[in-house]
Structure 1
Amino acid sequence: MPIIGQLCVVLTSIVAVLTGLAFFKFYDSFITVPELPNFELDKWWGPNTTKPLDTSIRPYRVVFTDAMQENLRVLFDHYRGRRRVKSLNESWSYGVHSDALGQVFAHWQFKYPFRERVRYLNKFNHFKTNIQGLDIHFVHVKPKVDKNVKVLPIILLHGWPSSFRDFFEVIPILTTPRPGYDFVFEVIVPSLPGFVYSQATTKRGMTTYEIAIIMRNLMRRIGHNKYYIQGGDFGHSIGSHMATLFSNEVLGFHTNFPVNFSKLAQLIWVFGSIWPTIIGGEHSDRMYPLSEKLSYLIEESGYMHLQGTKPDTIGYALQNSPVGMAAYMLDRYMMFTNSSNKDTVAGGLESISVTDLLDNVMLYWITDSMTTSLRLYKESFVNYETEQILGRIPTTVPTWGLRMKYELVHQPNWILKWKYPALLGTTTLDVGGHFAALERPRELADDIFKAIKNFLEH
């Protein structure tokens, strides 16, 4: 055989082998369902090596002391006495607009009713209990109903920069009987580890699936081996992991951030820009044009990169300035509530209660928990591969999704069903954004009732 022919055979063989390896790599990384990793269900996260068997559940109360308020006043005076930098234009394109921040600052300084808000935050019962070495805080509300009304346990999971406070308008709706439904909810709303009143670990590795285990153990501590889950933002990831790891315990999963985070789902989204309506159907405008959506996500994800790489640096900076912390949190709330808020001076403040927003700022400030909350981003980045593995393992738990109009990511049901094959349905609304509990408590609560009714009927 001529040497050219031999070279062609060799090159063809090499190409065939490389193509085969590429297809195998693609199949292994995108298509196959991986084995469920083994996890420690009692891993110790406490600050020491001793393991006291304290299983008590202790009452707790939110406190805004006079000393806390005086400290804030001193810092407020320092901020007010300095020359503030004015924004360059009539939008939030450079971040929080100075006029909007001034409005929030003035409200916090002169109109925020400290004593009234403490009473409000304590209107439900608070508790703490030690789970795997950490004191975990939670709100627990039991409904008062007739015997013919079923009471179903549900855990509501927040994200960042949220807290248990986001659900305070949702709780009364979920615990009140309504026509057409023979059930109400016993509501448990925890603070995630390192957030607000829940203790932070001093050890590395506290990512969303480890928190999922803690939340499951919390529900068992309270006395529930079977329960429902609702979550958004990080609460979605934690709830999803709970449904995957403990499918025999979770009765149903409701999410207001219905997303399949697998690599294949992201790949389909990118390729789908060629045929948007085929991929996205009637809601393709919420997914495309791709360039516009990617531009928005890139512009608004800088905080995630910073928190995912240097959380302590930004955390220390924020924790030493109440106004700086308010500005940072305000930027996320406004931009994720509606992307068009960036184009105005008010930034959407006219559509949301400043007092409600400041409740969350106060909770992060007085608990000195901003830095420890940001570490969850770092841990999620570091443990990305395991997060991906769990994201590719289908869960048999009945699932329901609520899509708000301005949610960060939109995916059609057929993509969601790769991860959630028992997806019984989704609700798509023309209102609301990423923080459904705070923005649209009535719509969120209504959809939870709708979802659980579907779960019970199947």
Structure 2
Amino acid sequence: MPIRPYTLAIPDAALADLAQRLANARWADALDSDSWADGTNPAYLARVISHWRERFDWRAQEQRLNRLPQFITEVDGQGIHFIHQRGRGPAPLPLVITHGWPGSFIEIEPLLPLLADPAAHGGDAADAFDVVVPSLPGYGASPAPRQAGTGSRRIASLWQGLMAQLGYPRFGAQGGDIGAGVGLWLAREHAEQVLGVHLNYVPASFRPPLGEGQPPLSSEEQAYLERLAAFAASEGAYALLQGTKPQTLAFALADSPLGLAAWIIEKFHAWSDHGGDLEQVLDLDTVLTDISLYWFSASLQASLRLYKENRQQPLAFYPGERPQVPLGVALFPKELPMPPRSWLARSFDVQRWAYQRKGGHFAALEQPQLLAEEIRAFFRPLRSSLIAV
């Protein structure tokens, strides 16, 4: 399939079906209608659904998104939707950015102008990037995989193939959440093509070599593993379900936009740095555009199943395995459990480790300026390597 332009165009019938389902939604009762303790706050969800039904304008969002340079192609039999925003500067560096769950390509949208045209946003034109933002298979506009086996490892290979199609033999990679895992797989298996990898999250599945012949765990590393275990026990039910029985959950979410909204909004609320008011950092139209992309994609099963695929192919490194790809990490204060630098340094050349003053798991949406500045700073000294090649 050649690369061709892509336009979002949800049929009127799909919009009417959504409106009817929202109007006829069956609400679960709750012991406390104004609490997040048992999951999504019922009162807040009612506010979100009211906005979705009465004020949210999908067509306006669709029109806005269609102003982005969107394309679709096929790599190794898999359809891939992507944004390709070319940079404005003397030598834009190719950069592939991967979103996560429950995000979509709109998660990266605020970064596009900051990275592609830094001079227009208080930066230096020499830091410009050609930004490529693919949609994960089954997320939003990329078709769902037609067979099992598409985890972050295969996605990394798909991205390498996509960048080759676009004429980028070497490129940088960036990501958070699932995108962080894709970035580490790119570094691990495509080191010759990858100039550097920048992350704003370190996947819990990443495991450097431990045990006999390896340095003992430091107190910081042990504390990190304890934080991971505590998070899994108190907040990890979503990942365990999506990683083991995604099909069962998919039936519920594919049939109920109310259920889908509750499933996703809980994570936006829990994982963002908002001080108690989510809409201080993420407005409802942004959140509902993301949820609507999941709903209209009709591929809920694929978006959930990616967790199962990644459980079956964990990022466990072998003794002596050390990709020769520079790594940078931006640490946001309300992020999920993050390891100390030494944890990653067991397997990678960590060249930048930068703490941020605010922000959470959805850094590209919450604090795009801070994240963009970090991405520019990490890749700045690596640009000469690309020019040399």
- Alignment TM-score, normalising by the size of structure 2: 0.90
CA contact (8 A) 1:212 1:239 kept: yes
Q: Cα deviation per residue 1:105-152 (whole Å; 9 max; x = unaligned)? A: 11111111222101111121111111111211111111344xxx2111
2:316 aligned with 1:388, yes or no? yes
Matches within 5 A, 1:84-103: 84-88=28-32, 90-103=34-47
Whole-Å Cα distance in 1 between the matches of residues 8 and 58 of structure 2? 12
Whole-Å Cα distance in 2 between the matches of residues 412 and 109 of structure 1? 44
Equivalence for 1:301: 236
Equivalence for 1:424: 351
2:145 aligned with 1:201, yes or no? yes
Partner SS for 1:252 = strand
2:121 aligned with 1:177, yes or no? no
Post-superposition shift, 1:91? 2.5
CA RMSD of aligned residues (A): 2.7
Post-superposition shift, 1:202? 2.5
CA contact (8 A) 1:334 1:349 kept: no
CA contact (8 A) 2:98 2:134 kept: yes
Matches within 5 A, 1:219-234: 219-234=163-178
Equivalence for 1:353: 283
Aligned with residue 305 of structure 2, among 375, 396, 417: 375
2:336 aligned with 1:408, yes or no? yes
Q: Cα deviation per residue 1:220-246 (whole Å; 9 max; x = unaligned)? A: 111111111111111111111111111
CA contact (8 A) 2:194 2:325 kept: yes
Equivalence for 1:319: 254
- Distance change in 2, residues 1:96/1:392 (3 Å): farther
Equivalence for 2:367: 440
User: Gaps spanning 5+ residues in structure 2: where?
Assistant: none
Partner SS for 2:148 = coil
Matches within 5 A, 1:247-266: 247-258=191-202, 261-262=206-207
- Distance change in 2, residues 1:335/1:392 (3 Å): farther
Aligned with residue 310 of structure 1, among 234, 245, 261: 245
Post-superposition shift, 1:184? 0.5
Aligned with residue 67 of structure 1, among 10, 13, 19: 13
Post-superposition shift, 1:413? 1.9
CA contact (8 A) 2:195 2:325 kept: yes
- Distance change in 2, residues 1:388/1:271 (3 Å): closer
Post-superposition shift, 1:390? 7.0
Whole-Å Cα distance in 1 between the matches of residues 144 and 5 of structure 2? 19
* 1:159 alignment partner AA: G
Post-superposition shift, 1:169? 0.8
Q: Cα deviation per residue 1:78-98 (whole Å; 9 max; x = unaligned)? A: 02xx56524526421100011
Q: Percent identity?
A: 29
Post-superposition shift, 1:194? 2.0
* 2:287 alignment partner AA: L
* 1:262 alignment partner AA: R
Equivalence for 1:244: 188
Greater helix share, structure number:
1
Q: Cα deviation per residue 1:299-358 (whole Å; 9 max; x = unaligned)? A: 1110111111110110111010111101101111211225x97xx6x6x34432111111
Aligned with residue 293 of structure 2, among 363, 382, 389: 363
2:268 aligned with 1:333, yes or no? yes
Aligned with residue 152 of structure 1, among 93, 98, 111: 93
Whole-Å Cα distance in 2 between the matches of residues 321 and 182 of structure 1? 47
Question: Which sits farther off after the overlay, 296-305 or 101-110?
Answer: 296-305
Post-superposition shift, 1:258? 3.4
Q: Which of the pair has more CA radius of gyration?
A: 1
Whole-Å Cα distance in 1 between the matches of residues 323 and 43 of structure 2? 47
Q: Cα deviation per residue 1:409-457 (whole Å; 9 max; x = unaligned)? A: 2222222211212x11111013111111121111111111111113236
User: Gaps spanning 5+ residues in structure 1: where?
Assistant: 1-53
Whole-Å Cα distance in 2 between the matches of residues 187 and 181 of structure 1? 14
* 1:114 alignment partner AA: W
Post-superposition shift, 1:266? 11
CA contact (8 A) 2:208 2:347 kept: no
Partner SS for 1:253 = strand
Aligned with residue 62 of structure 2, among 100, 118, 126: 118
CA contact (8 A) 1:64 1:114 kept: no
Whole-Å Cα distance in 1 between the matches of residues 262 and 355 of structure 2? 31
Partner SS for 1:198 = coil
Matches within 5 A, 1:31-110: 54=1, 56-79=2-25, 82=26, 84-88=28-32, 90-110=34-54
Aligned residue-pair number: 380
Question: Which sits farther off after the overlay, 87-96 or 433-442?
Answer: 87-96
Whole-Å Cα distance in 1 between the matches of residues 69 and 344 of structure 2? 36
